[in-house]
A and B are shown apart, each in its own frame.
Chain A
Amino acid sequence: MTINSKYHRESRLAFWMLAPTFAVVLAFVVFPVLWNLWISLKPVSLADLRGDALFQFNLSLDNFQKVFSDPDFETVLLTTLVYTIGGSLLSILLGLMAALLLNSRFLGRALLRGLFIAPYIAPVVALTFTWSFILDPQLGVFNQFAVNHGILAQPIPFLSQRWLDLGIIGVGFRIPLALFSVILFEGWRYFPFAFLFILARLQAIPDEFFHAASVDGATPFQRFFHITLPQLATVLSTLFLFRFIWTFTKFDDVFLLTRGQAGTKVLPLNVYDYAFGEFNIGASSATAMVLFGVLAIFIFIYFRWGMRIEN
């Protein structure tokens, strides 16, 4: 048997071993993206799904025009960016704090590590309903407890009020309350992801670095800022990129918490609202294409920059 025919046999076997995976990915990931492009260029309503109208060749950019000329488009985009950046940063900050707390050995550390991952493991429906219940103005434990103990003068509708006026030392300002609450939830639910990566990186920093710095007279805070933080720079920026990509396209959390009400409408919710609120599948697909475009830019950044650092 020649080497060449052995190679041919191997590659044919490899092809068949990978064929099912390729078939599934082609059918349920690659095809939908192309099909989405096709729909986004056609006038398709929810009522057209059964007929042959889906395959007619009547392409135009009308759907994109509708999406971009929507008077709320800029607000939605801004909300999406605030939600994405706020949620990503908060989850990474909490993850960093948790990782630093659990970096040294102590009794019960493994238990705490397990506990800290729970928000990320539990199903999103259960967590959003529980938080909605805790924050409910009438029946929620948070508001009732705070009002009973004189911490709050009146209950705060965290998830259903757009603005909250605050006054600190005579200076009045207002915060987008519901958006703020949704960002807090995002930070709470996804900090375990950052926590695990940062903890793994922390434990890979050689002890000699710290010993050497101690010998040179560096105090704990100095050691943190001059050794730990620079060592974490790569993992923190990679985490931000990943969290940004996933939060930008996240639908479940905001949909289940607020349905996009009270100033929390983000772009992925527009995909749903166009399709099932206005029965306009074409505009829905066009919105998904916009999301896909932004995502493609970030995936490109990841491959140009992130991969190099990871290797």
Chain B
Amino acid sequence: MSREQIEHTIIRVLRIVGILFFVLMVAFPFYWMIASSLRPLEEILMNPANLGLDFRKIDLSAYYNVLFDHGFVRYILNSLYVSIITVALSVALATVGGYAVTRLRFRGQSFMSYSILIIYMFPAIVLVIPLYVIFSHMGLRDSVNVLILVYLAQTLPVALYMLRSYFKTLPLEIENAGLIDGCTRFGVIWRIIIPLSAPALASVGLYTFMIAWNEFLFAFMFLDTPDKFTLSRGVVQLAGSVHLSKQLVMAASVLVTLPILFLFLFFERYLARGMTSGAMKG
């Protein structure tokens, strides 16, 4: 066998082993989260090393318990409210802002791009204490609407940056025709830019949703009243109060994870593109 053939064989073996390794490493924790949430507590305590899931013994009581006894219905609604409002505001303001940056002439355009990039790299831990202090002082801290504003500040610059890159690729001819025919600038945005940018808007919207839905630090620091908790905040609260009942914590984890994974699988095509154009940080 030539060296070329030997190396090809080695590569083929390495590829199979490698893919198995990655699949196991990535999928197992998700499988385990779901399997443990469906298993009766005695089973977890008596037989923690049982890898299989016995379908005849599936037990949904953990979900019932978490949803109705531990207030997770409320947390789901709160998380939906926070995420959807953040998405709506972020996409709307970023569309208008992205249009201004790419189509209108004004001073400080390059300054804009730099400041967006700097904000993109800004960590939450540096902002959380000063915001905690000022909102506590003003008595506004324990509020989901304040949380939405903070999330907006985290997502808006990146959303604007992504849409800016996309708007640059759109042909100007249609817009100019629209302007000549008497469309206003906002008319152009509404009738021409938005319909042409549907994929980019979808990917920006998904990212914003994901950031708001997954966010932990601000929700943890700001929210005190259980009625206002988002899901992430609720899971931490639950884990602290039912320390040994792993089944409940896993059911709560499934509730916070599955929506985002489903959205992601559904829109996978947009997401991979969005991610490499700077949509995610962390």
Partners in one complex: yes
Compute how far the CA of A121 lies from the CA of B12 in the bound complex, rounded to whole angstroms. 30
Find the residue from A33, A119, A252, A292 having the highest chain B CB count within 10 A. A252
> In the complex where A13-B100, A49-B136 touch, is A246 in contact with B4 (Cβ < 8 A)?
no
A148, CB-defined interface residue at 8 Å: yes
> In the complex where A24-B149, A125-B253, A141-B32 touch, is A120 in contact with B280 (Cβ < 8 A)?
yes
A173, CB-defined interface residue at 8 Å: no
CB within 8 A of B29: which of A25, A36, A50, A127?
A127
Which residues of chain A (222-279) have a CB below 8 Å from chain B?
A: 242, 245-246, 249-252, 256, 268, 271, 275
> In the complex where A35-B134, A101-B15, A140-B48 touch, is A295 in contact with B126 (Cβ < 8 A)?
yes
Find the residue from B121, B129, B246, B260 having the highest chain A CB count within 10 A. B129
Pair A28/B118 contact, Cβ less than 8 Å: no
- The closest CB in chain B to the CB of A51 belongs to B137
B167, CB-defined interface residue at 8 Å: no
CB within 8 A of A113: which of B28, B128, B231, B272?
B272
Compute how far the CA of A115 lies from the CA of B265 in the bound complex, rounded to whole angstroms. 9
A85, CB-defined interface residue at 8 Å: no
Q: How many residues belonging to B are interface residues under a CB distance threshold of 8 Å?
A: 94
A110: B residues at CB distance < 8 A:
268
Pair A101/B133 contact, Cβ less than 8 Å: no
Chain B interface, >50% SS class: helix
Which residues of chain B (1-60) have a CB below 8 Å from chain A?
A: 3-4, 7-8, 11, 15, 18-19, 22-23, 25-30, 32-33, 36, 44-45, 48-49, 51
- The closest CB in chain B to the CB of A9 belongs to B104
Pair B23/A115 contact, Cβ less than 8 Å: yes
> In the complex where A29-B153, A123-B232 touch, is A112 in contact with B253 (Cβ < 8 A)?
no
Q: What sequence of 0s and 1s flags, for each residue 91-129 of chain B, a beta carbon within 8 Å of any chain A beta carbon? A: 001101101110011110000101101110111111111
Compute how far the CA of A148 lies from the CA of B272 in the bound complex, rounded to whole angstroms. 41
CB within 8 A of A285: which of B7, B130, B261, B281?
B130
Pair A21/B49 contact, Cβ less than 8 Å: no
Pair B149/A28 contact, Cβ less than 8 Å: yes
A14, CB-defined interface residue at 8 Å: yes
Chain B: minimal CB distance from A231 (Å): 16
Compute how far the CA of A71 lies from the CA of B201 in the bound complex, rounded to whole angstroms. 51
B156, CB-defined interface residue at 8 Å: yes
Chain B: minimal CB distance from A272 (Å): 8
Which residues of chain A (272-311) have a CB below 8 Å from chain B?
A: 275, 281, 284-285, 288, 291-292, 295, 299, 302-303
Chain A: minimal CB distance from B278 (Å): 10
Binding site for B on A (CB under 8 A): 7, 10-11, 13-15, 17-18, 20-21, 24-25, 27-29, 31-33, 35-36, 39, 44, 49-50, 54, 97-98, 101, 110, 112-127, 129-131, 133-134, 136, 138-141, 144-145, 147-148, 188, 190, 193, 196-197, 200, 219-221, 242, 245-246, 249-252, 256, 268, 271, 275, 281, 284-285, 288, 291-292, 295, 299, 302-303
The 11 listed contacts between A and B (C-beta, < 8 Å) are A11-B104, A27-B149, A97-B18, A117-B272, A122-B30, A123-B214, A124-B216, A130-B30, A133-B249, A141-B49, A251-B217
